[in-house]
Amino acid sequence: MHDIFPGPEPLRWQVALAGYGEVGRILAEDLRARGVSVRAFDVKLAAAAGDAMRAHATTQGVALSDSLRALAEGADLVVSAVTASQAVPVAQACAPGMGRGAFFLDFNSASPGAKIRAAGAIDGAAGRYVEGAVMTSVPPYRIRVPLILGGPHAGVLLPALETLGFAPRVGSDRLGVASATKMCRSIMIKGLEAMVIESFTTARAYGVEDALIASLRETFPGIDWEKQGAYFFQRVIEHGRRRAEEVREVAVTVREAGIEPWSASGTAQRQAWMADLADARCFGQRGETGFARSSDWRTEADRILAARADDGEAGATG
């Protein structure tokens, strides 16, 4: 085995993706564009959503595995990009298949404690665990999304990730530091999403949305609140369930610091509430015009208010 990298040079690595959702598919596309061999596994392959995943994998030349252990076997790098609650179980399931010295890059938005438990499973199986904190939304940046690495193997993996097309930097050789950075950021970013949805929808109910936007523009002139509002509504409608899970991990992070997570807990509830509305087709079915695609947040706010009125939960109206 090479002193730095297991097996061949990075562009000839076998890269395995645990999770083939939005992030996994983006990584697959960009890695395949560089000629990297990619395989993937997702629990949804056995469900209805698996048809689209299999079609994408066929188009991109991505091999599909039938279990996480099989996914990890023979891989030089496993990238875990699943929901926050599955970060530790996925690491534990991959561990028996990890080759000695193979890397496991944890992309998940989990608490420092969860990252440390996941590392215990991988390192205990002779793999090399590296935590990765993704510091903003992946789609605009794709594989070049800002990525903070952490843990004792982070510096070793960094040049290989750069060769593969990632944009990493090492935050700390101590596990938990990178994820703490991400979690603290999420208190603000995911909290702002929840507050904008709550504030803007309530303003719409009272007919004061234009006055609200004008006031926000005066106080924060550097932000286009119309555009930002539309973006927040879109992202939460489409990804509220995953965001709620992440913010529950944020709340765990806050508790681990000895602070009661009042803000994070409320944010998780609001994100889950939006996910429930989306599941109830308040915003239409995926693929229909308008579902998480409206350029005007008012369209989505009106849908929320109409759904609440139907449920008898609406308050004032404009």
Chain segment 228-237, per-residue pLDDT in tens: 999 999 999 9
Report the distance separating Cα 234 and Cα 107, nearest Å. 23
- Residue 318: its pLDDT value, please? 38
Q: Where in the chain is the domain with CATH 1.10.1040.10?
A: 179-310
Show the beta-strand stretches assigned E in the chain.
Answer: 14-18, 37-41, 63-64, 77-80, 103-106, 128-134, 146-150, 167-172
Region of residue 292 (left: phi > 0; alpha: psi -120 to 50; beta: else): left
Whether this model's pTM surpasses 0.75: yes
* Residue 5 pLDDT grade (very low, low, confident, very high; cuts 50, 70, 90): low
Arithmetic mean of pLDDT, 107-130: 96
- Residue 294: its pLDDT value, please? 77
Instruction: Name the CATH topology of 179-310.
Output: N-(1-d-carboxylethyl)-l-norvaline Dehydrogenase; domain 2 (1.10.1040)
> Does CATH number 3.40.50.720 belong to domain 10-175?
yes
Closest CA to 99 of 78, 120, 130, 115: 78
Report the distance separating Cα 41 and Cα 71, nearest Å. 7
Closest CA to 150 of 106, 117, 187: 106
Arithmetic mean of pLDDT, 84-103: 96
Over residues 174-221, the pLDDT tens digits come to 999 999 999 999 999 999 999 999 999 999 999 999 999 999 999 999
Q: Where in the chain is the domain with CATH 3.40.50.720?
A: 10-175
* Residue 308 pLDDT grade (very low, low, confident, very high; cuts 50, 70, 90): confident
